[in-house]
Every structure is written in structure tokens, then in C-alpha cells.
Amino acid sequence: MPRTSKAAGSVALVTGANRGIGQAFVQELAARGARKVYAGVRSPSDVTDEFSELPVEIVPLDVTDLAAVQAAAAACPDVNLLVNNAGLFTNNRLVRTDDPDAARREMEVNYFGVLNMTRAFAPVLGANGGGYIANVLSVAGAFPAPFMGGYSPAKAAALFLSSITRSELAEQGTEVIALIVGSVDTRMAAHVQGRKEDPRDIARAGLTALDRGEYVASCPLAAGAPGSPPSTCTPPTAKMASAQRANCATRSSASSDTSAREGAARC
Ligand SMILES: NC(=O)c1ccc[n+]([C@@H]2O[C@H](COP(=O)([O-])OP(=O)(O)OC[C@H]3O[C@@H](n4cnc5c(N)ncnc54)[C@H](OP(=O)(O)O)[C@@H]3O)[C@@H](O)[C@H]2O)c1
């Protein structure tokens, strides 16, 4: 971790904070000295002791519900670091699908959810000195991934959104980072065989890339896929590097961010 992390002393809000990568971001922000972390969750009553002893405040938040998003912005006026992490992957094809509405639901969460949050919190960030936005994206958004029908286009849209947000909010001093993520060991990738990264490593990598002032950063498993920049996150640990090599040798037929990457990877 750099000597002075942008997370230190920050007031952060993480969407989809009750599990997986979102929960890991909350823990890593606290470990880096965040003053307060708002944990945005859809079902506050389901959160038990995940965040005990941490400076965490639970905020009810469905990112597709405009009224809830605006209420969160009003209730959290001190936020200066926003992590747009909430995401949905339905594991459907785009054209030959039995669930044609799935693509719309994926777009609602993965693209419009990020847009809703960005619009609502831009004035809050501006009022708090500019601040930071970290968008948790996917290697499937950096190139078109078959079998990830609605998810891949929605993440691609969110990648463009990240660039445009960066330009639009530059004048108020808001820094925006797009974090390109490969397969991670969470509910979303429960069906995936093969190498998956630890969610905490993703949070560490994302916050370290933010500290470095990067604006598109690939986590190790995502690096090297077409459309993804090389890994500029925390350099892979020895453990990660060897697991990455193993992953390159293990071809999975499961539809996932891993198989998306493997479909065109240059391992
Ligand atoms: N796991 C991977 O392999 C992988 C790879 C690349 C990118 N990512 C991205 O990483 C992010 C986190 O995913 P994860 O792996 O941690 O998956 P996860 O374990 O399934 O967690 C997804 C989180 O998003 C929340 N969420 C879903 N819809 C929401 C909505 N409408 N409003 C607010 N929150 C909502 C979920 O809440 P509930 O618990 O209430 O459902 C949950 O907290 C996502 O953006 C995902 O696309 C993951």
C-alpha cells in the first residue's frame, strides 16, 4: 500500500456491499483508514456481523431504484469515495435465449445502476473536494464475450460511461477509475471451474490503482485479454502468478468471466 492511500481518512460508499467484492472493498477501505464506510445493501436486515468493529453504516440501496439512490445521496452528504460495485450476471445468451428480459435486467443494474449512482453522487463528491469514483467492471466489458449475453454489453457500456464521467467531472476534480476484473471467488462465479481471485485481492488492487492515479486498471486474471490493458493493479503476488499460469493451462467450458477471457487469452 502506498504511504498515503486515498482511502485513508475518506468517507466511502460501496454498493452491493453485503457480499463478495463489495464486502471486500468495505473491509479494505476500513483497513486503509477510511473514516467511515457506508455499506449500500438491498436487504439491511440480512446483514449480521460482517462489519462489526468497523466504522460502517448500513444504507438501504437498490441501485435501480431512483428514489432509493437519491435518498442515499441525501443521507450520505459526506461521501468522497464512491465504489460502484453492485452487479448482476444472469448467465444467459443474448439472441438464442429463453429469457429475453435478462439483458434488460443486466443493463439496469450494471449500466443504469452505475449511471444513477454517478448522477446522484456527483454533486456530493464535488462538494467534498472532488473525490473519487471506482467502477467495478469486467473483462467481459472490454471485449464481447459469447455466453455472457446481456452482461458483456452492459459492462462495455459502463466502461464507456467511466471515460465520459472522467471527462465530465474533471473540472470538479473527481477522479474516476474503471477496474477490469477477471474471475473472482464470489457467488457470481460460483459455477466457474478453475482459477478465481480472492475478492480481497481485487479490493486491494483497485484501491492501489486508484492511489496511483490510474484510470483503467486490470486485475491480474483480466490482464492480457483483448481490450484489456496489461495488469497495472498491484503486481501479482507469487501465489497469484503461479495460479494465473495454472489458469492458463486449465480450460473451462463454463460460461464465466474466466471463460470469456480464456476464449481469446494470450496466456
Ligand atoms: N465474480 C466475478 O467473477 C466477477 C468478475 C468480473 C466482474 N465482477 C463484478 O464485480 C462486482 C461484484 O460482483 P461479485 O462477484 O461480488 O458478485 P456477487 O457476490 O453476486 O455480489 C453482487 C452484489 O451486487 C448486489 N446487487 C445486485 N443487484 C443489485 C441492485 N439492483 N442494487 C444494489 N445491489 C445489487 C448484490 O446484492 P444481493 O446480495 O442483495 O443480491 C450483491 O451484493 C459486480 O459488478 C460484478 O459484475 C465480478
Give the pLDDT confidence of 20-49 residue by residue, as tens digits.
Answer: 999 999 999 999 999 999 999 999 999 988
C-alpha 187 – ligand 1 centre gap (Å): 8
pLDDT of residue 74: 98
Instruction: Tell me the C-alpha distance between 192 and 66, whole Å.
Output: 33
Report whether pLDDT(63) > 90. Answer: yes
Section 219-243 average pLDDT: 55
Average pLDDT over residues 203-231: 81
- Name the residue of 88, 111, 155 to mutate for ligand 1: max ligand atoms within 8 A of Cβ: 88
CA 16 to chain CA mean position, Å: 9
Across residues 48-59, what is the average pLDDT?
92
Give yes or no for residue 134 CB within 6 A of ligand 1. Answer: no
The whole-number pLDDT of residue 228 equals 65
**Average pLDDT of the segment spanning 238-260:** 35
**Arithmetic mean of pLDDT, 205-232:** 80
* Sign of the C-alpha dihedral computed for residues 203, 210, 132 and 183 taken in this order: negative
Which residue in 111, 211, 127, 125 sits closest to 162, CA to CA? 111
Q: Which residue CA neighbors atom 43 of ligand 1 most closely?
A: 16
- The active-site residue, picked from 151, 196, 215, 239, is 151
**Relative to the CA of 61, which ligand 1 atom is closest?**
33
Residue 154 Cβ < 6 Å to ligand 1: no
Buried b (16+ CB within 10 A) or exposed e, 16-41: bbbbbbbbbbbbbbbbbebebbbbbb
pLDDT for residue 124 is more than 70: yes
Q: What does the block give as the cell for 132?
A: 473519487
Region class of 136: left (phi > 0), else alpha (psi between -120 and 50), else beta: beta
- What's the per-residue H, E or C state across 188-203? HHCCCCCCCECHHHHH
Weakest mean pLDDT among 71-80, 133-142, 180-189, 216-225: 216-225
The residues, ordered by sequence, that sit 6+ positions from 29 with a Cβ below 8 Å of its Cβ are 7, 10, 12, 14, 37, 81, 83, 203, 207
**36 given a catalytic annotation:** no
Just give the CATH number of 11-262: 3.40.50.720
The pLDDT of residue 243: 37
Is ligand 1 within 6 A of the CB of residue 64? Answer: yes
Q: How far is CA 54 from the centre of its chain?
A: 21
Model confidence at 232: pLDDT above 60: no
Residue 127, pLDDT > 60, answer yes
Whether the pTM exceeds 0.85: the reply is yes
Told to judge if 215 belongs to the known catalytic residues of this protein, a careful annotator would answer: no
C-alpha span between 15 and 21 (Å, rounded): 10
Q: Is the CB of 206 under 6 A from ligand 1?
A: no
Q: Specify the range with the lowest mean pLDDT, choosing from 190-194, 237-241, 247-251.
A: 247-251
Whole-number pLDDT of residue 184? 96
Ligand 1: which residue has its CA nearest to atom 40?
42
Amino acid letter for position 221: L
Check whether 113 has a pLDDT greater than 80: yes
Q: What DSSP string describes 171-224? A: GGT-EEEEEEE--BSSGGGTT--S--B-HHHHHHHHHHHHHTT-SEEE-TTTTT
Q: Bridge-partner residues for 39, per DSSP?
A: 14, 58
Q: What is the pLDDT of residues 156-214, one digit of tens each?
A: 999 999 999 999 999 999 999 999 999 999 999 999 998 999 999 999 999 999 999 99
Atom of ligand 1 nearest to the CA of 188: 20
What's the pLDDT at 126? 98
Q: Is residue 150 in contact with ligand 1, taking CB distance under 6 Å?
A: no
Catalytic residue among 36, 38, 111, 155, which?
A: 155
Q: Which residue has the higher pLDDT, 50 or 76?
A: 76
Q: What is the rounded distance in angstroms from the CA atom of residue 136 to the CA atom of residue 86?
A: 8
Nearest ligand 1 atom to alpha carbon 63: 32
